[in-house]
Structure 1
């Protein structure tokens, strides 16, 4: 059976899914997206993702084609139709297609809404056991990084640089030498004083949903969390480091620019937070 996608109200085989070449998402990256994890056939922390989606739409003045409260129904239907037990649901809303290519908002355009499901081993990810290697790169993005925009070229270039450097992720660095975030994740370090540090939410970074949940879990476990900038030099000296994202949950970082972080192996705190996040996610997603 073909994978099933959602396109503007219809569930169709993914290889038949089409949008107009005049869609502003294609022409201008004039749209937003979200990715929610699926574990045990259930969406994880989805209310947080939909809340962020609603904010991104509002910031770009894009109307939602259906009430945001109903988007979860579309996601759940995709999970069911694709028989997805573990993986991701991706959704994207653009300003839609117009009669002509013009930069200004077209009055006649109706938003385009597409979504699809993707299988992925999240819980038994090999990277959770080995840790990931990270490469630092300059942060080349626009100034409104708090909006989950589909304009991801800078992140694509960062991720490719990491892959070509034998790494799995890139941490982007601003002009002052401070880490902003990963190309597709939030960056954390654990200092020698056992303080977790992650950058303060602002227009400089995307407010991570998994980051938010992990921070709550860490504080519940008695860890001190500081929301502040940290430099690449400070990260080199960290006791541990890890990244968070919907598609990876919590993954230990074992090296940065070829330098081992701590012992060069996944740390106890990173492992603990991953385990506790999975427990929290699977428990809170249950409906029975």
Structure 2
């Protein structure tokens, strides 16, 4: 039985209970993070805990665990669940007031803090060898994609739409410009050998894996929007995320990228990130 962490206690998952009035349930009034585990160690931990703190500050939730407490929680969950490879999810809601109300509860209402593990093969992922097929869909999310909230309904809808269209995932576009994927930052390598990635603003999540990957890139980097057409004509394309690392994209809207196979630069970058993650995991 998997052990989770809920409000300071380590308990079997089937014993976890959250109030029906919890604002995470009623309003998606919550933020989350996901940290990868390699060889039983935490990847890019500091980046994730700093982004969680930023997300919490942006929506005004306080009274949550600090960096050292999160580190202790993660290591304890890894040990108790024997996780060698996988992820740890952290979710923090504004808590459970006595009744439903759009107005925030008093600061005396403690936040709900949940953490749980998922064991999964991250390095030996078949999709990394085959490459992803993606389709583009309109970006209809709210205007603060830079905050990692649990408002994931649209991301779920578009991913399922992509699967229904015979693809693996979706890239969102706004006015013809790619923003990001359902749960990944999107990147292309042009035929001139330039890596293009969306700039950090409110239109995309500021990816922790993105931040770790870009210093490993051998190509010239341009942080600017790129169009759907430019993506379809790219030499290579890939996504970056905590659970996927660097994942090649080989087809966009039915257009083969390059020769329709994972590109050499993307393959090298994926391996470079995995090597770096293993060296720096804590």
Q: TM-score, normalised by structure 2?
A: 0.98
- Decide whether the 8 Å contact of 2:63 with 2:110 is kept in 1: no
RMSD: 0.9
Name the SS for the 2:142 alignment partner: coil
| Residue aligning to 1:227 | 223
Which segment drifts farther, 253-262 or 65-74?
65-74
**For the residues of structure 2 that align with 1:272 and 1:64, how far apart are their CA atoms?**
42
| Residue aligning to 1:263 | 259
Tell me by how many angstroms 1:67 deviates: 2.0
Residues 41-60 of structure 1 aligned to structure 2 (within 5 Å): 41-60=40-59
- Decide whether the 8 Å contact of 1:54 with 1:68 is kept in 2: no
Question: Does residue 179 in structure 1 map to residue 175 in structure 2?
Answer: no
Residues 154-233 of structure 1 aligned to structure 2 (within 5 Å): 154-174=154-174, 176-218=175-217, 221=218, 223-233=219-229
Question: Does residue 81 in structure 1 map to residue 77 in structure 2?
Answer: no
Tell me by how many angstroms 1:70 deviates: 1.3
Structure 1: 5+ residue stretches without partners: none
**For the residues of structure 2 that align with 1:268 and 1:82, how far apart are their CA atoms?**
36
Tell me by how many angstroms 1:72 deviates: 1.4
| Residue aligning to 2:279 | 283
Once the two structures are superposed, residues 8-58 of structure 1 have per-residue CA deviations (whole angstroms, 9 ceiling, x without a partner) of 001011111111110000000001000011010001011000010000000
Count, aligned residues: 281
Question: Does residue 19 in structure 1 map to residue 22 in structure 2?
Answer: no
Structure 2: 5+ residue stretches without partners: none
Once the two structures are superposed, residues 82-136 of structure 1 have per-residue CA deviations (whole angstroms, 9 ceiling, x without a partner) of 0000000001001000011111111042100001000110000001100111011
Name the SS for the 2:238 alignment partner: strand
**For the residues of structure 2 that align with 1:145 and 1:268, how far apart are their CA atoms?**
31
Name the SS for the 1:233 alignment partner: helix
